Amino acid sequence: MSAKTADRIALSVIIAVAGIIMLVLAALLGYLLYRGLSHVSWHFLTSVPQPFRKGGGIGPQLFNSLFLLVLTMIITIPLGIGAGIYMSEYAKPNRLTNFIRLVVEVLSSFPSIVVGLFGLLVFVNLFHLKYSLAAGALALTVFNLPLMVRVTEQALRSVPQSQKEAGLALGLSRWKTIRSIMLPMAFPAIMTGTILAAGRVFGEAAALLFTAGMTTPRLDFTDWNPFHSTSPLNPFRPAETLAVHIWKINAEGRAPDAPEIAAGASAVLIIIVLLFNFGARALGRAIYRKFTATK
């Protein structure tokens, strides 16, 4: 067999495998969207769930997911970018930094249920946060931090060395060079990684079962004081997210239309995650084109 024939066979096998994967993914997404989109309406997106009657919605759960996303990223972004900058520009190659990278890799492969149990022991019980949005946000920070660290470190390492040397040659300090030259050049990749990390928050359920809880108190959406127990902006209240709500409906739903509610909520969740992923890539390309055009 000639080398050209072997290359063609290998290419055909790779294309076939990729096509099968795409077909399976398209069939799965199409089936879930076909089942769920017919049950999605404005009333469904804004009304409260009904445990025992038909016609419930996902309004509080959808808001909890968005609010939890904001809280998680407020904690994750500074820590992840700061750690990535340290690992890329300040940490010297030695056993300690190799150990830190190993820990980051291990954390990124942890099952979310283990992160949830860690959050239950540390944030819920040890720090006495109880089942709350704050405990859930901290647990998801542990879950997303390795991704942010790796994305930031790789983005900074991809900046041409000549750019860094030019900044230092002009008399800029190391931090000034990082802040004024390297971070702007690495910003598209960091932004893409940030949005992808944010998309993971919406689909997470196992870690939140043990930290944010499976219930949501009755919320007063006219009260935006975060210190009131009924305020939707109170970070120390329990909060059932959309992914947890889907699991709960399928596990113990007693409403007559529980399958329809679960299907509609699943369709909404899939659309949000797809928007985050496609939005991340589109935004990253747009920022990169804008940066290269002004360079």
Domain ranges within the chain, ordered by starting residue: 40-294
Quote the pLDDT of residue 293.
62
Quote the pLDDT of residue 20.
95
Quote the pLDDT of residue 291.
62
**40-294 adopts what CATH topology?**
MetI-like fold (1.10.3720)
Contact 188, 291 (CB under 8 A): yes
* Structure confidence by residue, pLDDT tens digits, 27-64: 988 998 888 888 888 988 888 888 788 878 888 999 99
* Structure confidence by residue, pLDDT tens digits, 71-111: 999 999 999 999 889 888 888 888 888 888 888 878 777 88
Q: By C-alpha distance, which of 275, 107, 116, 282 is closest to 205? A: 116
Contact 219, 211 (CB under 8 A): no
Backbone angles phi, psi at 54, to 5 degrees: -80, 160
The C-alpha atoms of residue 89 and residue 181 are separated, in whole angstroms, by 13
Residues 6+ apart with CB under 8 A from 214: 238, 240, 244, 248
What percentage of the chain exceeds 70 in pLDDT? 97
Residues 6+ apart with CB under 8 A from 252: none
pLDDT per residue, tens digit, the chain (295 aa), is 677 788 888 888 999 999 999 999 899 889 988 888 888 889 888 888 887 888 788 889 999 999 999 999 999 999 999 988 988 888 888 888 888 888 887 877 788 888 889 999 999 999 998 899 999 999 999 888 888 888 888 888 888 888 777 877 777 778 888 888 888 888 888 887 888 788 788 888 888 999 998 888 888 888 888 888 888 889 999 999 999 998 888 887 778 888 888 899 999 988 888 887 787 777 767 766 776 665 5
Quote the pLDDT of residue 292.
61
